[in-house]
Structure formats: C-alpha cells, structure tokens
A and B are shown apart, each in its own frame.
Chain A
Amino acid sequence: DIQMTQSPSSLSASVGDRVTITCRASQSISNYLNWYQQKPGKAPKLLIYTSSNLQGGVPSRFSGSGSGTDFTLTISCLQPEDFASYYCQQSHSTPLTFGGGTKVEIK
C-alpha cells in the first residue's frame, strides 16, 4: 500500500499569509495526487486534482505542484473561509489512500 504523509499536522496562520502544506508518498505516484478541504461537520471538497489542476469554482489562490513522491498545496493569501483541514489523496493505485490531514487554524 502507498502511504501518504502530510506535514505539518497543524499550523497557525493569519489572514493574508501564504501557507504551504506538503504531502509525501511512500513510492512514486507520478502526478496522481488530489487535495481536499474539509470544514467541521461537512463533507470534503475537491480543490486540486492530478497534482496541479484547479477544480472548477475553486479560488485561484489555491495551487498545487509536485510529481513523483513530493507534493505541495499552497494558499497564496489566506482568507477567513480557508481555515479548515486539508487532505492529500493518491489515485495511483488501490487501496486509495489519504494523508493524515493538516489543520489550518487562526493565529
């Protein structure tokens, strides 16, 4: 199974900050990496698919990059509605696996 490791597990940031979350796969997954946002009590929402493609309706302040084993989600200018948990997920092979999540909290 492919293990997905996210870091940090949590971070505190202020509105307007640039935030970077990393995700590392235990083996190469090419660009088969998706990112989701989840707010408390809500279903996850797809932000980025295949590493760098912005899902429709997602603000352009979100971006993704990486290939192979190392990936990054960047929020260029944090907004109040971005305080949430973020998960990466590999779609290279089953079992499909998620990272442990990163909780972005208000500083």
Chain B
Amino acid sequence: KQEVTQIPAALSVPEGENLVLNCSFTDSAIYNLQWFRQDPGKGLTSLLLIQSSQREQTSGRLNASLDKSSGRSTLYIAASQPGDSATYLCAVRIGGTYKYIFGTGTRLKVLA
C-alpha cells in the first residue's frame, strides 16, 4: 500500500530564505508526482508535475526534483516571500491508474 509522508509537518522561516520541503513515498511504481499549494479553506493549486521518467521541473522560484528509486521528492523554494505561506502537498499517481495518494502536508509560514 502506497504511503506518502512529508517532512517537516510545519515550517516557519524569515522572508528571503531558501527552503526545502521533503516528500517520501513507499512504492516506487508511480506514474508521476505532483506538488500542490493549498491556502486555508481553499482548494488546491497545482505547482509542478514531474513524470516518472523526469528528474526535475522548474517554475519561477520553485524547483521540484524526483528520485523515484529512493522514493523521494523535494520542493525547493528560492527567496521565500510572505505570499508563499500556505500548506504544500505532494501527491503520487499510482502506476496504471488515475488515483493520487496525498502526503500529509507541510504548513509553511514565511515571516515578513
């Protein structure tokens, strides 16, 4: 059974810091991995999607990497801003299906 874990569960940093969020999964037979942002009481915003054959994806200040064999992904946020404060979720798509299993989330707070 696929399990997805995110570390740390919560993070508070001063503005301007570069930071790394971690996601690990137990079964490497994934189709892809996606990072999402969720603001309080809101739905999900897709940030980056990495196919199983890819190693990383970049969008602006965000960079996500994937090491499928070790069951790990990291989301790197450069020069963090207060507007980055949100919960970040990673999700893996199970191979051969459209099902996503979500991680436990990292609640990020960037202090001005």
Chain A complexes with chain B = no
Interface residues of B (CB under 8 A from A): none
